[in-house]
Structure 1
Amino acid sequence: GNLDVATCNGRYVYETKKDIHPIFPLDRLQSTGVLPGHVWLKQALDSRKFLHVTWLNIYRREFIASHRFHFEPGLRHQDIPWTTEVLLAAERVQYTSEQFYDYYIHSESVSHKPDNDDTLMRSARHYMKILEMLDAINQRYPDKVRDISACRWQIAKEGLGIIHTFDSMKDESKKHIIIKEFFDRGIWRLIWKNARTFRLRWRLGRRYLRIKRYRDAA
């Protein structure tokens, strides 16, 4: 058929070559027929094993052009909002659990370089923007998102990751700057609003008291 998006599975291949395994566990995501994009998005996110990556997908060019989907230059982690919106907009998608892509993980990879406070601050800012983009996407597709609780869950989950980034920072003054920005931009409010489960709210609440003192510091 004329698919908007075709998605495959892949393999993680490590430098040692000893441990090769599927990117999507075979018992959690099985091959599908042709589905509306939002149906596949719900199924994929509900598995809790889905990754928002562009490189496991083939997109129909006319579909991308008609929606004017694009990436913002210089913004990392855009696979997350890109995949979310593409699937909410797509009418015909199909997933195969066949592994057609090898993702090589090695020690010289950019994503495996050790972080410092400056790279952690940059990462936090990128993720704040990603959460704002996800929230805007949810508002653009209210009828579809209403039945996909994971569209809200992923905002809270990624937000929790931002807070973990703060915990990794060593310079107290830089930590104060980025946490104040986190609250001033309304990111905490956005995360809390989208955390609908007791477990997520409990995890966020525990960390709130720890970061709040940085926001309140003179």
Structure 2
Amino acid sequence: MCDKISKPLISLVVPVFNADKYLDSMLSGFEKQSIESVEYIFVDDGSTDGSWLILSAFKERHPATTLVKQENKGAYAARNAGMAIANGKYISFPDADDLVDPEMFSKLCSFCEVNELDVATGNSLILDEDGSRQVMYPSVDFSLGPGYEWYERCLEKRSGGFWHCICPSVYRLSWLKENNFTFYEGFNGFDVPWTASILMKAERFGFYDENLYFYYRRQGSLSLAKSNKQKVRTVDSLLVSTNLLLNLRADVACKFSDSKFFDLLLIKRRQKLFHSLREVDDRSDKKICAKKIVNSRFFDKIYPLCLSGKEKLKHMLVYAWVLVLSL
């Protein structure tokens, strides 16, 4: 690949923040890709390590590469910046600290081309630092069809558990733009509403049941030592993203044959919100967060989804605790 590609088959948009420990491995996987019609877009999100030097060296070897530098705004803002300048027919958003199979983009793009798909998702392996691994998506009797059908079968197979991961998928760029899909900036943890919204909308979806993406679940410093500000931000993010999911429920009701597994997902996010609120250290901040939750009518919206008496009681006890905190 010697020159810029005017109309590449796929654009790979990678947000990069202080990833110099992992970039060489990711870039090596890119260089082994069998697909040739590809453009690389790296958005350096305010890195303070050697990431930019590594990316610059990659660009020298691969001129079909665009480097963008921005102040630290988060991965979602970086993906939006990359998507805004992408030229590919398809687009994908791998993370800088993961790995990709050499055939990933060739196989998924071919899968999309042959079947005229808007979205294709490959299976993946989740790799932990202790060496353990698990398959991201369960094997279900599905290859082609509406995205919500695959989503329902996976939710049912996992009893409410589902990896809402952006990275293992290839999206038709024009379809994303036609449907006004952008990433929700300013918060974290919005992979769930993004993925759910995509699958609710995608009538032409394909699942490629082969492990093509390798997702590394790392115990990073943020998860081990969050500041109080970050803990408050987590509460805010969960509240906003869960309300987005609740707004999706109208689509769920008409598309799913049985929405109970999606309802279980929402109930589990209530539990995450509860635990995140408990972790806020500052009493004043905790009170402000509790007031936000109460004023959002979050618990009123979740309550109808609680089917058992035990779950309803648990819901009311949690609500009472949050209400007391807000006073």
2:200 aligned with 1:99:
no
SS at match of 1:91: coil
Task: Give the match for residue 56 of structure 1.
Answer: 168
How far did 1:162 drift?
0.4
Q: In structure 1, the residue corresponding to 2:323 is in which secondary structure?
A: helix
Q: SS of the counterpart of 1:165? A: helix
Query: Contact between 1:8 and 1:98, CA under 8 Å: does it hold in 2?
Result: yes
Secondary structure of the residue that 1:13 maps to in structure 2?
strand
The question of whether the paired residues in 2 share the 8 Å contact of 1:5 and 1:92 is answered with: yes
Aligned length: 211
Q: Please list the CA deviations of residues 33-65 of structure 1 after superposition, one character each: whole Å capped at 9, or x if unmatched.
A: 212122112112222331111112111223212
Gaps of 5+ in 2: 1-114
1:8 corresponding residue in structure 2: 122
1:95 CA displacement:
1.8
Aligned with 1:102: secondary structure? strand
Q: In the TM superposition, what are the counterparts of 1:198-217 in structure 2 within 5 Å?
A: 198-215=309-326, 217=327
Contact 1:8 1:99 in 2 (8 A): yes
Unaligned runs of 5+ in 1: none
Deviation at 1:96, TM superposition (A): 2.9
Question: Structure 2 matches for 1:42-191, cutoff 5 A?
Answer: 42-46=152-156, 47=158, 48-107=160-219, 109=220, 112-139=223-250, 142-145=253-256, 147-191=258-302
So what's the TM-score if we normalise by structure 1? 0.84
Q: Is this contact kept in 2: 1:32–1:96, CA < 8 A?
A: no
- 8 A contact 1:13–1:20 mirrored in 2: yes
- Compare the two structures and name the one with the higher strand fraction: 2
Aligned to 2:151: 41
User: Given that residues 12 and 22 in structure 1 are in contact (C-alpha distance below 8 angstroms), is that contact kept between their aligned partners in structure 2?
Assistant: yes
Q: Of the two, which has the highest radius of gyration?
A: 2
Identify which of 135, 148, 151 aligns with 1:22: 135
Secondary structure of 2:206 counterpart: strand
TM-score (norm 2): 0.58
Task: Determine helix, strand or coil for the equivalent of 1:54.
Answer: coil
Contact kept, 8 Å, 1:138 with 1:145, in 2: the verdict is no
Report % sequence identity. 20
Distance 1:117 1:200 in 2: 30
